[in-house]
Structure 1
Amino acid sequence: MKKNPAAAKLHLRVTLAPGVAFGPGKADLLAGIRDTGSIAAAGRAMRMSYKRAWQLVEELNASFREPLVEASKGGPGGGGARLTRTGEDVLARYLRMHEAATAAVARDMAALRRHVG
């Protein structure tokens, strides 16, 4: 079996307070909202139901002092969503932490991959 170096990756999940965690799924959802301007489109890109995407956005907004996502109602021109300044900051900090953690464990990850058949 051929080794796939891309298959090994670090998943960072940060527990910020009891019951408040932030990890790759929520980061991907925020990045999708930032990139598409839509909660529905971000959820679709992740193969997530519209309802689940909205639940996560509501959970994120309730977990932080300020909302991370601001949504506008649909209508003839359609609705939309955007990250707030706090949302942009939370996402950027998480991505920096993930990048730093990945770099910190790169040698050990490479060594572990060598043990995989």
Structure 2
Amino acid sequence: MQSTPKTNNVILVRPRIYLGKGLAIGPGKIDLLRAIAELKSIAAAARKLSIPYKRAWALIDSLNQGFGKPVVETTSGGKGGGGTSLTLLGQQLVEKYDALEIRLNAQATEELAAVRALAD
């Protein structure tokens, strides 16, 4: 999975997308999905992002409710141990968000430089 693009001395645009019905997707939810994909655990992802476990579940639940289907799959513990992974929808959300973020940053270099110059 692709991570957030990093650039030197350039402001990075991280969009928030409002899809109606109270559904919004932005950097926080996407970073959480990325961490879940990497760590295979909501609890570990929450720790990595320094957010409470309950807040992580609330963010996941808001996506599940907004899309009407789950963005993560959890498996119970047991002999092989439990875990969490992204559903196809969860994977697609991260992929599409990454593509949008990359395109916005690539297309807005002039505007980003102008904003950056205001801070210098």
Q: TM-score, normalised by structure 2?
A: 0.85
Contact 2:23 2:62 in 1 (8 A): no
User: Which residue number corresponds to residue 95 of structure 2?
Assistant: 92
Q: How far 1:14 sits from its partner (Å)?
A: 0.3
Q: Deviations over 1:12-46 (max 9, x none)?
A: 00001231000000000000001110011111111
Q: How far 1:76 sits from its partner (Å)?
A: 5.9
Q: Deviations over 1:65-106 (max 9, x none)?
A: 321111123346542100001111111001101111111111
Matched, 1:112 2:111: no
Q: How many residue pairs were aligned? A: 113
User: Which residue number corresponds to residue 25 of structure 1?
Assistant: 28
Q: TM-score, normalised by structure 1?
A: 0.87
**Identity of paired residues, percent?**
40
Q: How far 1:62 sits from its partner (Å)?
A: 1.3
The runs of at least 4 aligned residues of structure 1 exceeding 4 Å deviation read none
Q: Which has the higher contact order (CA 8 A, sep 6+)?
A: 2
Structure 1, gaps ≥5 residues long: none
